[in-house]
């Protein structure tokens, strides 16, 4: 328990705007995530939350600082860290099962084994029978489930989620949220850490052990708030609303 | 010597003015026609098939109209007008389609917002339709400019029958130099053309393209769009006209009606609208009657020609031979543009430079090389020369369409490929090739259309009054007919080719395109 599963260490990042002009997105961002912990990142829109997630995933290289996975630096994408993208990011020319297989192409060389794992993942997210459907034939929530199945296919330790529920209706979002919470507490699922980027403060309070609040650009960690409420949490309870108000105050 | 050099500069300036004037008029007309076609179902059914047909008629097919109507109608400036008109016929059609498709694709919620804020037709045109079409228009200015440049030679030297109308311009000046054996000056002029093309590209077209990026509606996400090339002109543009041009839904709020102020002028405006409607209706009717009347001799000519023995066989055999040339030219072009296009689109750093360089090379008009190529005619056959010219003209369509289609791949999909460490063969199989399919098909369709049009330049080359040509070909047939002044043959061969191209488009390409955009499109 001593070494955190995921450490973000003094990460800084800026985009160049051509002609040497640069603008800072992230500055000195640090935090740790421990085993079986659900952490949400909130902050003003455009503050660089999504950029931070991509740096953790190893898709973007940080300008300063580094990411540690159980004490070892993450220098490029690894199967142990996975991500659910905001816009589903499914390949329109591939069926649901082929889209899930994408996550396994590099890991499982045997074609049939790959297909078997992918089908199993799809039935785990409740999409049995939709293996051969193309993304355009699926509803928003089904597409979200496919992208979740793909993210979990490689048995990752860390699941990163970039506003995964924002495109869904509230009922669907709620059932998917509960599913992820269940997976995190289920000892048979190897998932150990979830990092969620969201605009929705209720969602953050509902799901997280901890909420990390980022400042306006360039984003720094303003504060971390631990949510000490038992699950399932009732959004109408007084304690819940106190947490929401507290986070609101930091953001406004 | 100094005089000659200033002559070259003057000729270059004249030609460029012609090209840019034609391009501006084409854009203006395209905006009007494109919006009408996209927003009026009846007009759409008439305009779109006509534009589709006209697009596959090569410049030469418009010669008779240009000469008979314009030169005789406008004394003094007739030849100049005819030349600009001819240049326009080589660059307007794709811009019309661009506006049409862009306006058709205006998201329904923007349309509703416009209605909610009670925008009238005029402000809807200026604040919704035109801004929405700007990215597509800008994207089409480059190929249109190159195409105009490609046909410049034919548009500055118009000949029909025994009459030859010669305009002062860079292509006629180069021709003169070559025919007088002053190849140094000809080469110098050609180098200047290349330089002018580069300057036009960097100074006008590319900044316009960068500037137009602002008008895209899609959320850009967290990666700011790259600004490449020289952006100064686009910044000036932005300062001067930028404010009036954004998609300004909030602006409509200011225009929300204040009751009485709004209603009074409305009555007056309605009258004005009625008057305008009747006026345009009469104008359209007169125009239609005029077109029908002027079509009568065309039809008579065609009927007369069809009756001649052997004509049908000649035309179909020529068409078949030209068809083979087109296919060969496309295959040659495809063999290198497909891999290079895909590679350059996915390797941004090298790709952007490569595309910039290729763009410049692409805009050098092949016909200007013809006078030089002809001197090698003893070593290569006319047939090979024709194929070379066609390949030079059309390979770029495939390349740039693949590039642009691939750069529309959503950023998240690229990130998925990176996240799951997909490399090598798998990357080509599941990502590169499917992602370029749409561009490949669009590119192929445009390239084939362009190759058909290039036939008239490639199959018969008029050099120093001597016609060097392939044995049989529909392009050659048109050139010969126009030189002989055989209007019937010219009309008939032009029409046959246009119908053939349109038929193939409708029967084959339309279906392939629909299938590919359904299978490989990103519509969620």
Mean per-residue pLDDT, A127-147:
91
Contact, B247 vs B273, CB < 8 A? no
Mean per-residue pLDDT, A218-241:
91
Contacts of A240 (CB under 8 A, 6+ apart): A205, A206, A229, A233, A234
pLDDT for position A18: 59
Cβ-defined contact of A54 to B228 (cutoff 8 Å): no
Lowest mean pLDDT among A63-67, B228-232, B325-329: B228-232
Contact, B58 vs B51, CB < 8 A? no
Region class of A129: left (phi > 0), else alpha (psi between -120 and 50), else beta: left
B417, B420, B425, B428: which to substitute to probe chain A, counting the most A Cβ within 10 Å?
A: B420
A21, A101, A105, A135: which to substitute to probe chain B, counting the most B Cβ within 10 Å?
A: A105
Measured between CB atoms, does A57 come within 8 Å of chain B? yes
Region class of B421: left (phi > 0), else alpha (psi between -120 and 50), else beta: left
* Per-position DSSP letters for B451-493, written without gaps between them: HHHHHHHHSEEEETTEEEE-SS-HHHHHHHHHHHT-HHHHHHH
Measured between CB atoms, does A15 come within 8 Å of chain B? yes
DSSP state at residue A18: S
Judged against a pLDDT cut of 50, whether residue B223 lies above it is answered with: no
pLDDT for position B149: 84
d(CA A245, CA A173): 22
Average pLDDT of every residue of chain A? 90
In chain B, which among 439-468 make CB contacts under 8 A with chain A? none
Chain A contacts of B224, Cβ < 8 Å?
15, 17
Measured between CB atoms, does A51 come within 8 Å of chain B? yes
Confidence at B24, pLDDT banded by 50, 70, 90: very high
- Alpha-carbon separation of residue B189 from B83, B148, B374 (angstroms): 21, 18, 17
Measured between CB atoms, does B221 come within 8 Å of chain A? yes
Cβ-defined contact of B422 to A102 (cutoff 8 Å): yes
The predicted-structure confidence for B485-509, as pLDDT tens digits, reads as follows: 788 888 888 888 888 988 888 888 8
**Which among B298, B301, B314, B461 is positioned nearest to B374, based on CA atoms?**
B461
User: CA of A240, closest CA in chain B: separation in Å?
Assistant: 31
Chain B contacts of A91, Cβ < 8 Å?
413, 416, 430-431, 434
ipTM comes to 0.88
d(CA B218, CA A226): 37
pLDDT for position B296: 77
Contact, A89 vs B431, CB < 8 A? no
pLDDT for position B29: 93
Cβ-defined contact of A85 to B420 (cutoff 8 Å): no
């Amino acid at each position: 328990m001593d070494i955190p599963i995921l450490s973000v260490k003094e990460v800084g990042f800026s985009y160049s705007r051509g002609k040497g002009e640069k603008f800072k997105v992230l500055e000195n961002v640090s935090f740790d995530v421990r085993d079986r912990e659900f952490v949400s990142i909130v902050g003003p829109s455009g503050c660089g939350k999504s950029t931070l997630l991509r740096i953790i995933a190893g898709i973007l290289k940080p300008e300063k600082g580094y990411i540690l996975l159980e004490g070892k630096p993450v220098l490029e994408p690894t199967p142990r860290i996975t991500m659910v993208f905001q816009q589903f990011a499914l390949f329109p020319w591939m069926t649901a099962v082929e889209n899930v297989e994408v996550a396994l192409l590099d890991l499982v060389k045997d074609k049939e084994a790959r297909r078997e794992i992918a089908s199993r993942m799809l039935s785990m997210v409740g999409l049995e029978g939709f293996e051969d459907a193309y993304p355009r034939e699926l509803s928003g929530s089904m597409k979200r489930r496919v992208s979740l199945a793909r993210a979990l296919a490689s048995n990752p330790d860390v699941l990163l989620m970039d506003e995964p529920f924002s495109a869904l209706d509230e009922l669907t979002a709620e059932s998917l949220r509960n599913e992820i919470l269940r997976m995190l507490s289920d000892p048979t699922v190897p998932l150990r850490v979830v990092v969620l980027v969201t605009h929705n403060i209720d969602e953050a309070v509902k799901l997280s052990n901890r909420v990390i609040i980022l400042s306006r650009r360039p984003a720094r960690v303003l504060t971390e708030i631990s949510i000490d409420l038992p699950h399932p949490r009732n959004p109408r309870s007084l304690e819940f609303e106190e947490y929401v108000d507290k986070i609101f105050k930091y953001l406004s | 010597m100094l005089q000659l050099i200033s002559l070259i500069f003057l000729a270059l300036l004249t030609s460029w003015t012609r090209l840019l004037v034609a391009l501006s008029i084409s854009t203006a007309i395209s905006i009007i026609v494109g919006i009408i076609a996209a927003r009026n179902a009846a007009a759409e059914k008439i305009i779109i098939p006509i534009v589709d047909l006209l697009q596959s008629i090569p410049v030469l097919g418009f010669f008779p109209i240009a000469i008979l109507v314009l030169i005789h109608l406008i004394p003094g400036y007739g030849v100049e007008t005819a030349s600009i008109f001819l240049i326009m016929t080589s660059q307007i059609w794709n811009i019309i389609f661009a506006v049409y498709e862009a306006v058709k694709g205006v998201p329904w919620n923007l349309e509703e917002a416009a209605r909610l804020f009670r925008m009238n037709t005029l402000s809807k045109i200026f604040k919704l339709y035109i801004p929405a079409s700007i990215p597509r228009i800008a994207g089409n200015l480059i190929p249109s400019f190159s195409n105009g440049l490609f046909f410049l030679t034919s548009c500055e030297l118009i000949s029909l029958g025994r009459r030859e109308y010669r305009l002062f311009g860079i292509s006629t000046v180069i021709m003169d130099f070559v025919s007088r054996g002053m190849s140094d000056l000809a080469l110098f002029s050609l180098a200047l053309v290349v330089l002018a093309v580069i300057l036009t590209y960097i100074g006008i077209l590319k900044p316009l393209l960068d500037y137009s990026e602002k008008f895209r509606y899609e959320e850009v996400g967290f990666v700011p769009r790259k600004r490449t090339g020289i952006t100064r002109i686009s910044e000036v543009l932005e300062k001067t006209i930028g404010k009036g041009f954004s998609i300004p839904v909030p602006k409509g709020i200011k225009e929300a009606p204040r009751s009485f102020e709004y209603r009074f002028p409305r009555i007056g405006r309605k009258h004005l609208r009625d008057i305008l409607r009747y006026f345009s209706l009469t104008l359209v009717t007169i125009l239609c009657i005029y077109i029908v009347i002027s079509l009568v001799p065309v039809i008579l000519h065609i009927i007369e020609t069809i009756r001649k023995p052997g004509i049908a066989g000649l035309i179909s055999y020529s068409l078949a031979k030209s068809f083979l040339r087109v296919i060969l030219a496309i295959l040659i072009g495809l063999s290198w543009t497909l891999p290079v296009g895909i590679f350059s689109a996915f390797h941004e750093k090298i790709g952007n430079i490569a595309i910039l360089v290729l763009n410049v090379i692409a805009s050098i008009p092949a016909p200007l090389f013809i006078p030089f190529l002809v001197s090698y005619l003893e070593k290569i056959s006319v047939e090979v020369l024709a194929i070379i010219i066609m390949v030079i003209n059309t390979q770029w369509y495939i390349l740039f369409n693949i590039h642009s289609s691939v750069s529309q791949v959503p950023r998240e999909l690229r990130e998925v490929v990176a996240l799951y460490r997909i490399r090598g063969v798998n990357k080509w199989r599941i990502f590169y090739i499917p992602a370029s399919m749409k561009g490949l098909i669009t590119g192929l369709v445009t390239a084939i259309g362009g190759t058909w049009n290039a036939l008239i330049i490639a199959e018969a080359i008029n050099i120093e009054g001597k016609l060097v040509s392939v044995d049989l070909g529909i392009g050659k047939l048109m050139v010969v007919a126009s030189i002989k002044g055989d209007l019937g043959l010219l009309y008939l061969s032009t029409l046959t080719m246009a119908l053939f191209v349109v038929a193939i488009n409708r029967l084959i390409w339309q279906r392939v395109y629909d299938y590919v955009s359904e299978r490989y499109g990103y519509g969620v």
